[in-house]
Amino acid sequence: MIAFERGTSTSFPRSCMGARRGFGSGASAPQCWAAGLKPHFRKFMRRLLFTLLLLLYPLCSQSAQPTRVASISLCTDQLLLLLAGPSQIVSISYLALEPNSSFMAQQAAQYPINHAKAEELLTLKPDLILASEYSDRTLISLVQKLGLPVERFPLPSSIQGIQENISRMAQLLGQEGRGRQLIQQMNQRLEQVARQQPAVRPKALFYQPNGYTSGEKTLQNTALQLAGWRNLAAELGIQGYRAIDIEALLLAEPEQLFTSPYAPGSQSRAQQQLLHPALKRVTAGREMIEIDYKYWICGGPMIADAVEQLHQSLPP
């Protein structure tokens, strides 16, 4: 490599000067660098350069594609499982196995799990740790101090935020192609729903145990609007997730209530609140519609499933 560079700098033919100045000349740069050498050397040098490049290429791409990725939060689990090659994942969080909240629970079953503990992470020897915006800060600063690279992902509340997360994850994993494909598929499904919007958007509200609802800047709000519903919580000025008073709910007169059961089958006062008879009466006897939590507890391409289900539940 050194000898080769020295050779190019010593004698340079006139015919190649144009190529050095600009892009006008027909001769390409490597040919010109080799031009000053003896003809039988030229071929050798060209081959040497080619082999060197070939040797370098896998080295470069390997450093861009991590092979031991550990995720410690549910939402990074989802994106990792969607985008990574099977040999890239070293561990996912235990939350990824829970079928009510994890969209990728089935695929997650084949990977070792972690409980987001520093000791576990160190023994895994990961070359990349994925965490969410809300992961334990002390844990993250600890593993960072120990020299492990950590990437933190925000929780998106819009389609754009989901796209950004997918692209960023794909880039980190060296799987840009898969990332683009995933975004494209999601966009296609959303566009198909967007083409069949109702003339009058019916009034809907998302109602959760303890009277929580999803206002502006939530995925539920984004999905309701994309599917063709009005989100009353956002219209009432609620930001994020907040409890709505039941009288305020009734006065808003929703035509349909949606809920996402977080722990189906279990009982509590909070969950009993969803059974209040007034909720059924105000929607003219329509039952509350359940949309699985796994579609929007984390931002991901599965939001399209929720949007499609919401769209299908529009009144005829």
Partner 1 sequence: MRPPLLLTQKQLTGGLSLILAVLFLLSLFIGSNPISLFQAVRDALLDTPSVVAMILTEIRLPRSLIALVTGATLGLCGAAMQGLLRNPLASPGLIGSASGAALGAVCMLYFGLSSTLPMALPAGGIIGALAATLLVYLLAGRDAGTLTLILAGVAINAMALALIALLLNLAPSPYAVREIVLWMMGSIANHSMADFQIMLPGILLGWFLLMGTGRSLDALTLGEETATTMGFSLPLLRWRIFIAIALAVGSAISITGSIGFIGLVVPHLLRPLVNHQPSKLLLASAIGGAILLLAADICVRLFPAGTDIKVGVLTSLVGAPFFLYLIIKSRRYQL
| Residues forming the site for partner 1 (CB under 8 A) | 209-211, 242-243, 245-248, 250-251, 253, 262-263, 265-271, 273, 275-278, 281-282
What does the block give as tokens for 256?
Answer: 């349909």
CB atoms within 10 A of CB 71: 34
Minimum CB–partner distance for residue 157 and partner 1 (Å): 22
Q: Which is nearer to partner 1, 24 or 277 (CB)?
A: 277
Minimum CB–partner distance for residue 76 and partner 1 (Å): 21
Instruction: Tell me the three-class secondary structure of the chain, residue by residue.
Output: CHHHHHHHHHCCCHHHHHHHHCCCCCCCHHHHHHHCCCHHHHHHHHHHHHHHHHHHHHHHHHHHCCCCEEECCHHHHHHHHHHCCCCCEEEEEHHHHCCCCCCCHHHHCCCCEECCCHHHHHHHCCCEEEEECCCCHHHHHHHHHCCCCEEEECCCCCHHHHHHHHHHHHHHHCCHHHHHHHHHHHHHHHHHHHHCCCCCCCEEEECEHHHEEECECCHHHHHHHHHCCEEHHHHCCCECEEECCHHHHHHHCCCEEEECCCCCCCCCHHHHHHHCHHHHHHCCCCCCEECCHHHCCCCCCCHHHHHHHHHHCCCC
Minimum CB–partner distance for residue 242 and partner 1 (Å): 8
How far is it, in rounded angstroms, from Cα 133 to Cα 155? 7
Residue found under tokens 């919007």: 197
Minimum CB–partner distance for residue 270 and partner 1 (Å): 4
Minimum CB–partner distance for residue 200 and partner 1 (Å): 20
Q: Which is nearer to partner 1, 72 or 244 (CB)?
A: 244
Q: Which is nearer to partner 1, 195 or 269 (CB)?
A: 269
Contact 226, 296 (CB under 8 A): no
Q: Which is nearer to partner 1, 75 or 310 (CB)?
A: 75
Q: Which is nearer to partner 1, 52 or 278 (CB)?
A: 278
Written as one letter, the residue type at 39 is P
Q: Which is nearer to partner 1, 227 or 297 (CB)?
A: 297
Minimum CB–partner distance for residue 243 and partner 1 (Å): 7
Q: Which is nearer to partner 1, 176 or 253 (CB)?
A: 253
Minimum CB–partner distance for residue 292 and partner 1 (Å): 16
Minimum CB–partner distance for residue 253 and partner 1 (Å): 6
Q: Which is nearer to partner 1, 119 or 245 (CB)?
A: 245
Distance, CA of 4 to chain centre: 45
